[in-house]
Amino acid sequence: MASSTHLDERTEAFVADVLEAIGRHLAVAEAFVVGSGATGGFDPATSDVDLVVVVEHPPADRGALIADVAAVRSPVRDLELVLYVEGAQPPDYELNLNHGEERPSEEPFWFVLDAALAQEQAVPLLHGRAWGEFFDPVPPEQVREAMEASLDWTGRMKPDNQFAREQGVRARHYLEHGEWITKKEAQQ
C-alpha cells in the first residue's frame, strides 16, 4: 500500500483487505485512493474512504464480489468504491458501491467530477501506475457541464440536506471562479 495517502493505519489495513477481497474475484490493474484520503483532511470518524479500482475484465460473479467486499469490517463511516474495467472512462463504471450496497443509478456527473479531481490528486496503491495511464483527461467543458448538473441536482434535494447545500456552494464557486473548494471551505 502506498505510504503517501492521508489514511490512518487502521484505514490503510481496511483498504488492503478490500483490495484483497476484490483480487479474489478479479485481476486488479491498479487501485487509487481519492478524496480526503489522497489530499488531506481525512478523519476516520467522519470521512468516507474513496477508492477507485481498475480491473482487467468485468466480474463473473457480481453478487459474490459485492458480498466479499461488504463483509470487510469498516473502521470508517463508509467505503465509496467505484470499479472500472480497463479502457472504460468515467462515467462508464462497472460497479459503484456505497454502504456495502450497489448503487447503479447514481447521477453520471458525480463520476465525471470525481475523475476531474482524481486526475490531479489520485494516489496509486498497488503498482505505482498513474491515473492518466487508465483514464483520459476530463476536458474543462465536461467539468463545467458536470458542475452545472450537480447544481441542478442540489436544487432537487430537500432544503435540510447538508451535503446538497455544501455541493451547491462548491458548484457555484467552481462555475464562478473556475477553481475547486473543499467541503470544509463550503461549510464556512
Give me the number of domains the chain comprises. 2
Cβ neighbors of 155 (< 8 A, separation 6 or more) are: 168
Closest-CA residue to 42 (of 68, 75, 70): 75
CATH number at residue 120: 3.30.460.10
188, pLDDT greater than 90: no
Task: Give the tens place of pLDDT for each residue, 46-75.
Answer: 889 999 999 999 999 999 999 999 999 999
Task: Indicate if 144 and 172 belong to the same structural domain.
Answer: yes
> What is the pTM (predicted TM-score) of this model?
0.93
Task: Indicate if 129 and 147 belong to the same structural domain.
Answer: no
Task: Indicate if 156 and 116 belong to the same structural domain.
Answer: no
- Rounded Cα distance, 12 and 33, in Å: 10
14: containing domain: 1-136
150 confidence band (pLDDT: 50, 70, 90)? very high
